[in-house]
Amino acid sequence: MNGSMVMEWAEELGKMSESGPGVTRLFLSDEHRAVIQWLSNKAKEFNLDYFLDDSGNLVIKKNSRNPGAKTLIFGSHQDTVRHGGKYDGMLGIILPLAAIADLPDLSFNIEIIAFGDEEGTRFNSTLVGSSAVAGNFDESILDRIDDNGLSMRNAMQEFGIQPSNIPKIARNKSEIDGFIEVHIEQGPILEQKELPVGVVTAITGIERHVVTLTGQAGHAGTVPMELRDDALVKAIKIIEFVDVICKTTDKLVGVVGKLDVLPNAVNVIPSEVKLTVELRSPSPEVRSHAQKALYSKIESIKGADIECTYSKDGIHCDENLINELSKSVFNCIQQVETLFSGAGHDGLAMAHLTKCGMLFVRCKKGLSHHPDEAISHFDCQTAIDVLRDFLARKEAKLSLN
């Protein structure tokens, strides 16, 4: 199987979408079922085993000739954001499938998992499929409801899977020999460097805070400037602080993405502003340093308060997988770019189970979560070549032992 086949598959699968621009394919939907059917047919065609697990993951298996061999897992998510693209997630399922479809029997097992939910669009959940496989599934999210008031638990039952069986999905650490996800970069670096693929070294950690700034409302025409206590003017200081610290710190990005201003009127001095601060870094030390600086900035502003609402540590990819993927990239294009992922991925959950590696594929204008998401045929073929080289060298090494 080659790159043009994968490009054709992506077109076919992209049609399994709700109507509207781009691809909208939610967890446990009819479109999800269509993808499972399509992938099952492909597995059958290639003489691969497959099954649907009780968290909604389709697992495709290429069994080793050695009984008791360990399993290398490839995979990514089948779900999308609303009006997303054809490649975010899906590429990490169909590209490894194309890479292994016509390989001979190997001395290790390979699985390709199409995780049901990673984006969390339908139930405001995240990493459902990968956390079930990794054994760190949070059962409380089964009670989350979608826009129609249907709980994830009931939606799973209607889909024909049993959420009570999810704990049984968790894999045994001793049987798994790593997880590799192929994903579009979702950023501009590979395009800037004119490279088709790159090796990921870490997946970012994320933390979110809500800052409340309190001032004093007043008439915008009668209160003298020097007597004003304007909450929005205080907010500017925070926005600028976040921008500057992120621009001057390596491997740190951040944004103030949301502002709620009270009373939000053209002729009233703002009395309260609530704003969100999000910080991301693959390095826990960098993030903690930025957080401390942010908190001391808040302390220095009268009427400012901060609350942390979300925090998830990032992961470092496995050194050995980084090296082996880098060797394969070098063998294919003689140049290796390493980069960190500023977006969250299934590896965040899978790291609880096994060592993780990621291969990024260049995407047009760095665009993702958008109908215009695009990759080139050449880049797709290069990524397949990299996986094949990686698998061939792994097989050669194991055969020697």
Tell me the pairing of strands 109-115 and 71-77.
Answer: parallel
Nearer to Zn ion, 183 or 287 (CB): 183
State the minimum distance, in angstroms, from the CB of residue 84 to Zn ion. Answer: 9
CB of 253 to Zn ion, least distance (A): 18
With CB under 5 A as the contact rule, which of the stretches 80-88, 127-135, 217-225, 392-400 interacts with Zn ion?
A: 80-88
Contacts of 80 (CB under 8 A, 6+ apart): 17, 22, 23, 24, 25, 26, 88, 89, 119, 121
Work out which of 53, 88, 324, 337 binds Zn ion, going by CB under 5 A: 88
Rounded least distance, CB 273 to Zn ion, Å? 33
Q: Tell me how far apart the alpha carbons of residues 97 and 102 are, in angstroms, rounded to a whole number.
A: 9
Closest CA to 10 of 44, 39, 48, 43: 39
Site residues (CB under 5 A) for Zn ion, limited to 256-295:
none
Q: For residues 40, 46, 51 and 55, what is the CA-based torsion angle, rounded to 10 degrees?
A: -60
> Closer CB to Zn ion, residue 88 or residue 385?
88
| CB-CB contact of 389 with 331 (8 Å) | yes
Give the number of residues in contact with Zn ion, rule: CB under 5 A.
2
Choices 3-11, 89-97, 166-174, 209-217 (CB under 5 A): range interacting with Zn ion: 89-97
Q: Rounded to the nearest whole angstrom, what is the least distance from the CB of residue 348 to Zn ion in the complex?
A: 11
Shortest reach from residue 9's CB to Zn ion, in Å: 17
373 touching Zn ion, by CB under 5 A: no
Task: Return the closest-CA partner of residue 316 out of 353, 360, 348.
Answer: 348
Residue pair 378/360 in contact (Cβ under 8 Å)? The answer is no
Judged by beta carbon, residue 186 or residue 328, the one nearer Zn ion is 186
Segment interacting with Zn ion, rule: CB under 5 A, options 21-29, 83-91, 123-131, 310-318:
83-91
> Minimum Å distance from CB 92 to Zn ion?
8
Query: What token pair was written down for 277?
Result: 């601060």
Picking from 206, 231, 233, the residue whose alpha carbon sits closest to that of residue 290 is: 206
How many angstroms separate the CA atoms of 118 and 164, rounded?
A: 20
CA distance 86 to 375: 10
Going 157 to 163 to 164 to 165, the CA torsion angle's sign is positive
Residue 88 vs 185, nearer CB to Zn ion: 88
Q: How far is the CB of 401 from Zn ion (least distance, A)?
A: 35
Of the candidate residues 22, 56, 85, 89, the single one contacting Zn ion (CB under 5 A):
89
The region that residue 157 occupies, defined by phi over 0 for left and psi between -120 and 50 for alpha, beta otherwise, is alpha
State how far the Cα of 189 lies from the Cα of 200, in Å rounded to an integer: 12
Q: Which stretch binds Zn ion (CB under 5 A): 58-66, 85-93, 127-135, 319-327?
A: 85-93
Residue range at the interface with Zn ion (CB under 5 A); choices 81-89, 147-155, 262-270, 308-316: 81-89
Closer to Zn ion at the Cβ: 88 or 207?
88
Nearest to 66 by CA among 15, 96, 109: 109
Cβ nearer to Zn ion, comparing 182 with 329:
182
Task: Give the nearer residue to Zn ion in terms of CB position, either 360 or 390.
Answer: 360
Helix (H) or strand (E) holding 38: helix 30-45
- Closest approach of Zn ion to the CB of residue 118, in Å: 6
Q: Which is nearer to Zn ion, 234 or 345 (CB)?
A: 345
Minimum CB separation from Zn ion for residue 154, in Å? Answer: 26
In which residue are the tokens 């590799």 written?
Answer: 180
Residue number with CB closer to Zn ion (89 or 198): 89
Tokens of residue 163, six digits: 């959420």
Q: How far apart are CB 183 and Zn ion at their closest, in Å?
A: 6
State which residue, 132 or 306, has the beta carbon closest to Zn ion. Answer: 132
Kindly list the residues in this chain that would bind Zn ion in the complex (CB under 5 A): 88-89
